[in-house]
Structure formats: C-alpha cells, structure tokens
Amino acid sequence: EIVLTQSPGTLSLSPGERATLSCRASQSVSSNYLAWYQQKPGQAPRLLIHGASSRATGIPDRFSGTGSGTDFTLTISRLEPEDFAVYYCQQYGSSFGPGTKVEIK
C-alpha cells in the first residue's frame, strides 16, 4: 500500500503570498494519478487538481500542481482569504495524505 506524507504540517502565510505544499509517496504513483483537495471546516472536500497537474472544473488558475513519480507539489500563487484551509493529496483514488493546514499569519 502506498503511503503519502505531506509537508509542512502547517503553513502560516499572509494573503497575497505564495504557498508551496509538498506530497511525497512511498512508491511511484501509477500514471501520476495524484489529486489535491481543499477542505474548509464543516465542509466536504473539494477537488482542485487531478492527474497531478490538471485543474478541476471551476478551479482558479492561481492553483497549480506539478510533479511525477513520488514527489508532487501544489502551489497557490497568491493566497486569497478564501484559500486558508486544509489541503490533502490522494493517490489513485485511494489513500490520502495527512493534510497541510494553510493558516493566516
């Protein structure tokens, strides 16, 4: 079973700053089936990125995903107030990483 680790656990940033979130897999992720989600308190997760780098429908272009194999990155180019949330990566539609909380500094 592939285990995902995310870093950092918490990211403290100000609106307008750039956020870089990392997701590392214990083995290569098949065909780069790596997805990123955003979750706010009391809400279901929202799909941001699929296939490691493709934005889901309606997702602003300040969100971008890169990476392949075992190392993946989610970048938020300029943080908007609504972007402060927890972000999870997921591989092959199964296991999730533990999450990265992006909080207001």
Partner 1 sequence: QVQLVQSGTEVKKPGSSVKVSCKPSGGTFSSYTICWVRQAPGQGLEWMGGINPIFDTADYAQKFQGRVTITADKSTSTVYMELSSLRSEDTAVYYCARGMSGDRRDGFDIWGQGTMVTVSS
CA 95 to chain centre: 14
- In DSSP notation, 41-85 reads TTS--EEEEETTTEEPTT--TTEEEEEETTEEEEEESS--GGG-S
State the minimum distance, in angstroms, from the CB of residue 88 to partner 1. Answer: 6
Q: Is residue 47 part of the contact set for partner 1 (CB under 8 A)?
A: yes
Number of residues that bind partner 1 (CB under 8 A): 25
Q: Which of 84, 94, 102, 105 binds partner 1 (CB under 8 A)?
A: 94
Interactions with partner 1, residue window 58-87 (CB under 8 A)? none
The structure tokens 């997760």 sit at 45
Chain residues in the site for partner 1 (CB under 8 A)? 1, 30-31, 33, 35, 37, 39, 44-47, 50-51, 56-57, 88, 90, 92-99
